[in-house]
């Protein structure tokens, strides 16, 4: 039986501010760390020895090549190398490939072994300030396993931006032409609130808003955004829209949507979910909870036109 067989539905997890993580290792050394990824970004784990690797000339050093799996040509990223870990030839032979889906883009991550799937509440996910220092940090937050071992969650958006930049948003694509589009006064004079924990995604969103000369305020997780709104009291008139990721420590984007849409003072503020978990279940759950829109992170350059469309549509 596959380690990925027992996975709850996205709907059940969202209702309880929970997530499920696939825990894995990138080395067999006894002191090697545990890492994790949201199970909804994974498809399967395959043994690397069973798949022929075709190298790509002049590619990034960490892009090992491609394999063909079920008719798909899948690029393989050397995750241990990205983490500064060199595998021996023998370890490479025993390694596995974790097939993942980021924004509908299928890639393979070389790992040593898949450990198991664990369930966590988002308030058990922590993002120490040390992970936010500098642009080179590859860890985004952490949690603890039952035996007390630390388990690190990586900034997979940074990995993609480093190795497969074409898989990420083009911040210069389709910037708003302010002379040709009518920006609602509330958006022009307000401050859009954004909950996003990935520094890479934060950077992309900041560039998009700066290019369009629209004010924004970033929060490193959903709880900080909700706390900020609660501290405003009844005056939320300067918030024209809210953007939230789904996967964040302390409070998931689904919980952000649920809390704000159930609050009379914020229920009419448009909320757009901006996520790399683009499966239909997640889109449907966001809609059921009351989100006004859902946009894939690779299409984030369309986020302002989407906000304008939502703000200007007839009631």
CATH topology of domain 10-167: OB fold (Dihydrolipoamide Acetyltransferase, E2P) (2.40.50)
Average pLDDT for 63-75: 92
Question: Per residue in 230-283, pLDDT tens?
Answer: 999 888 999 999 999 988 888 989 999 999 999 999 999 999 999 877 667 778
pLDDT band at 1 (very low <50, low <70, confident <90, very high): very low
Whole-number pLDDT of residue 315:
65
Question: What b-and-e string marks burial along 188-200, b requiring 16 or more CB atoms within 10 Å of the CB?
Answer: eebebbbbbbbbb
Taking domain 185-312, whether its CATH number is 3.40.50.2300 is answered by yes
The CA angle 96-97-100, to the nearest 5 degrees, is 150
Whole-number pLDDT of residue 151:
94
Average pLDDT for 48-75: 90
Question: Per residue in 181-237, pLDDT tens?
Answer: 778 889 989 999 999 988 888 888 998 898 888 999 999 999 999 999 999 988 899
Average pLDDT for 77-84: 93
* pLDDT of residue 51 exceeding 70: yes
Whole-number pLDDT of residue 7:
58
0.85 cut: is pTM over it? no
The beta-carbon contacts of 307-312 under 8 Å, at least 24 apart in sequence, are 307/187, 307/192, 307/240, 307/241, 307/270, 307/272, 308/181, 308/183, 308/184, 308/187, 310/241, 310/270, 310/272, 311/184, 311/186, 311/187, 311/240, 311/241, 311/270, 312/182, 312/184
Question: Per residue in 165-180, pLDDT tens?
Answer: 766 655 555 555 555 6
Question: Per residue in 96-152, pLDDT tens?
Answer: 999 998 877 889 999 999 989 999 998 899 887 766 666 677 888 899 999 999 999
Domain residue limits, the chain? 10-167, 185-312
Whole-number pLDDT of residue 80:
94
Whole-number pLDDT of residue 239:
96
């Amino acid at each position: 039986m596959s380690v990925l067989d027992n996975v709850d539905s996205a709907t059940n997890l969202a209702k309880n501010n929970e997530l499920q993580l696939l825990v894995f290792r990138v080395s067999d050394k006894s002191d090697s760390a545990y890492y994790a990824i949201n199970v909804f970004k994974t498809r399967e784990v395959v043994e690397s020895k069973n798949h022929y690797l075709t190298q790509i000339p002049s590619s990034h050093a960490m892009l090992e090549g491609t394999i063909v799996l079920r008719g798909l040509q899948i690029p393989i990223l050397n995750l241990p190398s990205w983490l500064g870990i060199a595998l021996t030839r023998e370890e490479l032979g025993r390694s596995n490939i974790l097939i993942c889906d980021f924004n509908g883009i299928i890639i393979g991550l070389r790992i040593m072994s898949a450990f198991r799937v664990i369930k966590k509440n988002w308030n058990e996910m922590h993002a120490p300030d040390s992970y936010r220092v500098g642009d080179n940090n590859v860890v985004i937050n952490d949690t603890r396993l039952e035996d007390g071992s630390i388990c690190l969650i990586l900034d997979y958006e940074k990995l993609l931006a480093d190795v497969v930049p074409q898989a990420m948003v083009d911040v210069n694509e389709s910037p708003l032409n302010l002379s040709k589009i009518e920006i609602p006064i509330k958006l022009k004079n307000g401050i859009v609130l954004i909950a996003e924990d990935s520094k890479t995604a934060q950077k992309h969103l900041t560039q998009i808003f700066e290019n369009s000369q629209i004010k924004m305020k970033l929060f490193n997780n959903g709880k900080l955004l909700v706390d900020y709104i609660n501290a405003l009291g009844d005056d939320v008139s300067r918030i024209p829209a809210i953007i939230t990721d789904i996967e964040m420590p302390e409070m998931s984007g689904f919980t952000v949507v649920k809390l704000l849409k159930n609050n009379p003072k914020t229920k009419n503020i448009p909320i757009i979910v901006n996520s790399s978990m683009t499966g239909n279940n997640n889109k449907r759950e966001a809609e059921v909870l009351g989100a006004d829109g859902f946009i894939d992170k690779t299409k984030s350059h369309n986020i302002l036109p989407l906000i304008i469309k939502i703000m200007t549509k007839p009631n």
